[in-house]
């Protein structure tokens, strides 16, 4: 994150409006601590019907369910997210994680849905 901010000159652009180093420290904290452990381990919003269903069925995550995708899921995912989840269902947990790691190494940015270089 620090490399990305430095590359694009965000500290300069902030123009002293706030403590940029503290801001980066906060972002790094979120990156490290905002990892979702999955539905079975208590991840996600407490009132989520999908989380409740996964817990009841003993699933790590909703895409492992034989009924995925179901009506409970619709309100929680946009079409891009659904495509990623369907891929997970298609190839399984271990291969999906390997695929995501490889994409990250190649610079794939999940929200932009493309490879995004952090270097000029």
Write down the domain spans for the chain: 2-34, 49-109
Picking from 115, 61, 59, the residue whose alpha carbon sits closest to that of residue 88 is 61
Mean pLDDT across the chain: 75
Percent of the chain with pLDDT over 90: 2
pLDDT band at 101 (very low <50, low <70, confident <90, very high): confident
User: Pseudo-torsion of CA 105, 91, 61, 100, nearest 10°?
Assistant: 0
pLDDT band at 91 (very low <50, low <70, confident <90, very high): very high
pLDDT tens digit string along 18-66? 788 888 888 787 676 656 666 666 666 777 788 888 888 888 777 788 8
The pTM (predicted TM-score) of the whole model is 0.49
């Amino acid at each position: 994150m620090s490399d990305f901010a430095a590359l694009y000159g965000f500290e300069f652009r902030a123009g002293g409006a706030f403590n940029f180093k503290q801001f980066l420290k906060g972002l790094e904290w979120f990156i490290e601590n905002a990892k979702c452990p999955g539905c079975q381990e208590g991840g996600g919003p407490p009132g989520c019907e999908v989380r409740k269903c996964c817990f009841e069925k003993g699933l790590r995550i909703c895409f492992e369910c034989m009924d995925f995708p179901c009506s409970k899921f619709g309100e929680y995912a946009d079409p891009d997210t659904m495509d990623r989840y369907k891929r997970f269902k298609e190839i399984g947990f271990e291969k999906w994680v390997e695929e995501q790691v490889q994409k990250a190494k190649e610079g794939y940015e999940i929200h932009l849905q493309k490879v995004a270089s952090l270097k000029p």
